[in-house]
Structure 1
Amino acid sequence: MAIRILLVDDHPLVRDGLRARLEAMPQFEVVGEAGSAGEALEAARAHQPDLVLMDINMRGVNGIEATARFREQFPDMAVLVLSMHDKLEYVSQAIQAGARGYVLKDSPGKDIVVAIETVMSGGIYYSAALARQLAKPQNQDNQLTLREQEVLRHIANGESNKQIARQLDLSVRTVETHRLNIKRKLGIEGQAELIKFAVQHAPLGNVDL
């Protein structure tokens, strides 16, 4: 069964391009379009899409606030942000608002396909350029310490706080503190999101501590 998609962007030409690209693939069906948050919510009620492809820059209510409204009114409907903005603050705000991923508009065309399929499979997707920024923040205040990188690697291996504490000879409380610091620095909200990020971006191998 095709993935039903709602396009939300205040530029008709952008929507036309997206529709043409997506409808060329049998696994996707564009069931509606909207140019504002209000139109998007109405279209969602009318068409019940599986996924909403959401721009950030829109007149009136922006895409981040619109995403939050979708999470409240349609909690089972996935929202994937497609934006020209590559600042991590936008990414963090979008994910906290309920988006399942963030794709840059200047990404290769295949990225949007991979992003939709990843999100609909239960994952979280970031464009490669954003993933690199998230994994290695440029701001020194946000940079993960070596110990935090090591904890992230163990999280990626599916280990519990107790297992990580035993492996690194730390207290469970210290491991919990590292987890909180990692989430704060990367703009990650929940434990499930942290695990998914760790699996996708954790440093490989042992870190020399």
Structure 2
Amino acid sequence: MSTTPASPRRIRLMLVDDHPLVRDGLRARLEAVAQIEVAGEAGSGAEALALAEQLAPDLMLVDIGMKDMNGIRLTELLSERFPAIRVLILSMYDNSEYVTSAMRAGAKGYVLKDAGSHEIIAAIDAVAAGGSYYSAAAAQALVKPQAQSFDLTEREKEVLILLAHGLSNKAIAQQLDISVRTAETHRLSLRRKLGIDSAAGLVKYAMERGWLK
């Protein structure tokens, strides 16, 4: 007696990107794939966390450069609160700091936004199946020697060390004899360059470079 093979289980995923046009493009590309169901989309980290609890997707396709919360911090929170949800980073950045930070945060894969549809779908399949996937450029970034300070200015380095010690923007401004607004600007620049939004991440980054005792 012959049996009909079971249909492969559909992958329920969420799109997380703060650009509606990017989400629209991704949705159009992915909804054409039979085994993928776009269960929802979010335009911010906070919205993504709320929808993750409501929809419980298998996988979340997450951008790094969002305004309210970067994708690496979101990945950390998802790993803590929803360990069953696997995260695949889809980013325009291919430097080693972003890739390694994403891995440490719990991401199971990293693909660049300029990748073709076939590669993004292959990454989704691999990560949803319990594996991992890193695009060639992301994998190459991991084996490149890391710049000691990731092109930080001396002032940014000073601000980073003070942040790692737990100082507030106001305290940093007083310590360095700069305005609070300038301290905030340096902090935003650090977040943009390093993709690190947590105090623990800053401490780790500074310690790895021997800047903290």
Normalised-by-shorter TM-score class:
0.5 to 0.7
In the alignment, the residues of structure 1 paired with residue 94 and residue 141 of structure 2 have an alpha-carbon distance, to the nearest angstrom, of: 9
Whether 1:111 and 2:119 are equivalent positions in the alignment is: yes
Whether 1:28 and 2:36 are equivalent positions in the alignment is: yes
Deviation at 1:10, TM superposition (A): 0.1
Whether 1:73 and 2:55 are equivalent positions in the alignment is: no
What is aligned with 2:18? Answer: 10
In the alignment, the residues of structure 1 paired with residue 114 and residue 147 of structure 2 have an alpha-carbon distance, to the nearest angstrom, of: 27
Which of 77, 82, 90 aligns to 2:98? It is 90
SS in 2 for 1:115: helix
| Distance verdict in 2 for CA 1:47–1:131, change over 3 Å | same
In the alignment, the residues of structure 1 paired with residue 71 and residue 127 of structure 2 have an alpha-carbon distance, to the nearest angstrom, of: 18
**Percent identity for Structure 1 against Structure 2:** 56
TM-score scaled by length of structure 1: 0.64
Greater shift after overlay, 80-89 or 120-129? Answer: 120-129
TM-score scaled by length of structure 2: 0.63
Structure 2, unpaired ranges of 5+: 1-8, 149-213
What is aligned with 1:137? Answer: 144
What is aligned with 2:130? Answer: 122
Deviation at 1:120, TM superposition (A): 1.5
Question: In the TM superposition, what whole-angstrom CA distance separates every residue of 1:110-169 from its partner, at most 9, and x where no partner exists?
Answer: 1110101111122111111222333x425599xxxxxxxxxxxxxxxxxxxxxxxxxxxx
| Distance verdict in 2 for CA 1:61–1:15, change over 3 Å | same
* Conserved 8 A contact 2:96-2:144: no
In the alignment, the residues of structure 1 paired with residue 147 and residue 26 of structure 2 have an alpha-carbon distance, to the nearest angstrom, of: 37
Runs of 4 or more off by more than 2 Å in structure 1?
138-141
In the alignment, the residues of structure 2 paired with residue 48 and residue 75 of structure 1 have an alpha-carbon distance, to the nearest angstrom, of: 11
Query: Which amino acid is the alignment partner of residue 42 of structure 1?
Result: A
In the alignment, the residues of structure 2 paired with residue 40 and residue 68 of structure 1 have an alpha-carbon distance, to the nearest angstrom, of: 13
Structure 1, unpaired ranges of 5+: 142-209
Across the two proteins, how many residue pairs are aligned to each other? Answer: 140
| Distance verdict in 2 for CA 1:8–1:140, change over 3 Å | closer
Deviation at 1:14, TM superposition (A): 0.4
SS in 1 for 2:67: coil
In the alignment, the residues of structure 2 paired with residue 91 and residue 132 of structure 1 have an alpha-carbon distance, to the nearest angstrom, of: 10
Question: In the TM superposition, what whole-angstrom CA distance separates every residue of 1:90-111 from its partner, at most 9, and x where no partner exists?
Answer: 0000110010000000112211
Question: In the TM superposition, what whole-angstrom CA distance separates every residue of 1:4-48 from its partner, at most 9, and x where no partner exists?
Answer: 000000000000011111110110000001011110011111111
In the alignment, the residues of structure 2 paired with residue 59 and residue 41 of structure 1 have an alpha-carbon distance, to the nearest angstrom, of: 15
Greater shift after overlay, 115-124 or 45-54? Answer: 115-124
The root-mean-square deviation of aligned C-alpha atoms, in Å, is: 1.5
